[in-house]
Amino acid sequence: MGIRDLLGEVASTYDRTAGSRKDVVGQKVLRRVASRTDLALPLGFKAEGHGGQTTPAATPWIGIFAEEGDKDPKRGLYLAYIFSADLKNVSLTLQQGITWLEERLGRGRAREEHLRHHAARLRRAVRRQERQGWVNEPELRDNAARPRAYEAASVIARTYDTGALPSDVTLMEDLLNGITFLRQVQEADRVWWQSDSADALEMSYDPAGHSARVVDPLAGFHPKDSGDYVVEIKARQQVKRRSHEKLVKDFGDHIVERGYNPITHLQHPKDLVLRRQGEETGGPEWLVEAKIVRNGNPTAAVREALGQLFEYRHFLYGEDSRPLLVGLFSEDIGVYAPYLEGQGIASVWQSGEEWDGSPSSRSWGMTTT
């Protein structure tokens, strides 16, 4: 017995019309998956079968989860064997959680577009040569909301014919590859969100489906509150100062006078994006990372800005849409300005009531000195 036998057993016994009672054969098979010891799963992983609760699932599935860590299929990333509605195929798919999005986006097209958009971003974490034999989305052949969401939520999938399943060795090789893909994609996913915050959701989903032309140059600029706020850390309080947000706001107010549109709306986790006024579509984009210089020492701020700009450019942009990079600082960064220029990163900093910067930022008209 093994994964091959389990998949074959589900395909031959599951009957959506038989209901979801505990005595239904196909439901029994799925409910017993968690207690099976013959699946020879990779160390640290466990399986769970899902055939629906009060209503039988249109597309039954078996989740593969790490024994430690988040294994909630309602959100997060996980692997699953999902059967097509006609049971002719089963796909090993790297899935995004779908249930938690219902409250914000509903169960229809908006959720599917959000999932598909984010899946395309995450897919870049898996090198093209590693994806040979894998597809983006499985075909589940059912028009219900949940199967459509499963298709949209797929980052990468490997589909099998249930009438001619490969050997357990081949299935295990694919599963090990899937686990490798999962870990790669989880690292990329970390860049965008670490919680279900509104900003994280807005980053990936634009309800309009595309960016509308900006008439008001500040229409997309919504800097956060610059007031102090309190956070609890290990049973003690710390007062955090939102000087970062004030830096972004001050620069946004300045840069709009230099002919740019500063945009923060729908840009999380990016601090700020700039586009020239009148060139919102098709023109160049500047990716700005803002950092506060602490105690007159710019070293840490420069390192963080450099790392995040490169990381965001790699994960958030395609090869044909690379942005120009700008480090925004609260004060002069000295010898680090030519260092960043050498890395292809312009720099801008506050200088009293003025704005100074490196040669690139000056050539772009972003400074006042």
| Residue appearing with tokens 């239904």 | 24
Mean pLDDT, the chain, whole residue set: 83
Tens of pLDDT along 9-64?
A: 999 999 999 998 988 999 999 999 999 988 989 888 999 999 998 899 999 999 99
**Is residue 109 in some structural domain?**
yes
Q: How many CB atoms lie within 10 A of CB 337?
A: 25
The pLDDT of residue 83 is 98
110 and 135 fall within a common domain = yes
Tens of pLDDT along 86-99?
A: 999 999 999 998 87
263 and 352 fall within a common domain = yes
- Residue 32's CATH number: 3.30.920.90
Angle between helices 145-153 and 109-123 (to 10 degrees): 20
**Is residue 277 in some structural domain?**
yes
Tens of pLDDT along 316-336?
A: 888 778 899 999 999 999 999
- Structural domain ending residue among the three candidates 167, 199, 231: 199
Q: Where are the beta strands (DSSP E) in 203-258?
A: 229-233, 236-240
Is 334 in contact with 315 (CB distance < 8 Å)?
no
d(C-alpha 260, C-alpha 273), whole Å: 10
Domain hosting 24: range is 3-199
pTM above 0.85, yes or no: no
Q: What is the DSSP string of 270-283?
A: -SEEEEETT-TTTS
Instruction: Copy the structure tokens of residue 306.
Output: 């450099």
Local structure of 61: helix, strand or coil: strand
* Phi, psi at 297, each rounded to 5°: -110, 110
**Is residue 369 in some structural domain?**
no
170 and 221 fall within a common domain = no
**Is residue 208 in some structural domain?**
no
- Structural domain ending residue among the three candidates 199, 228, 243: 199
Is 259 in contact with 365 (CB distance < 8 Å)?
yes
d(C-alpha 247, C-alpha 331), whole Å: 10
d(C-alpha 203, C-alpha 316), whole Å: 10
348 and 301 fall within a common domain = yes
Tens of pLDDT along 179-214?
A: 999 988 887 777 655 434 444 444 333 333 333 333
Residue 162 exposed, middle or buried by CB count within 10 Å (0-12, 13-18, 19+)? middle
**Is residue 240 in some structural domain?**
yes
175 and 30 fall within a common domain = yes
The pLDDT of residue 114 is 85
Is 242 in contact with 224 (CB distance < 8 Å)?
yes
**Is residue 127 in some structural domain?**
yes
61 to 84, 112, 148, 149, 265: CA distances (angstroms): 9, 19, 14, 14, 37
84 and 147 fall within a common domain = yes
141 and 228 fall within a common domain = no
75 and 170 fall within a common domain = yes
* Structure confidence at residue 288 as a pLDDT band (50, 70, 90): very high
Instruction: Copy the structure tokens of residue 339.
Output: 């260092």
14 and 104 fall within a common domain = yes
What's the total number of domains in the chain?
Answer: 2
Q: How many CB atoms lie within 10 A of CB 239?
A: 8
175 and 237 fall within a common domain = no
306 vs 226, more confident: 306
| Residue appearing with tokens 């500047």 | 286
Q: Which residues pair with 40 in a beta bridge?
A: none
306 and 168 fall within a common domain = no
**Is residue 80 in some structural domain?**
yes
**Does the N-terminal peptide bond of residue 60 adopt cis geometry, omega within 30 degrees of 0?**
no
Q: Which residues pair with 263 in a beta bridge?
A: 273
- Structural domain ending residue among the three candidates 170, 199, 228: 199
The upper half-sphere exposure of residue 357, i.e. CA atoms within 13 Å in the direction of its Cβ, equals 24
**Is residue 259 in some structural domain?**
yes
d(C-alpha 70, C-alpha 78), whole Å: 9
* Phi, psi at 352, each rounded to 5°: 65, -125
- Residue 275's CATH number: 3.40.1350
61 and 192 fall within a common domain = yes
**Nearest 5 degrees, angle CA 183-CA 186-CA 191?**
140
Give every CB contact of residue 107 below 8 A, 6+ residues apart in sequence.
Answer: 145, 146, 149
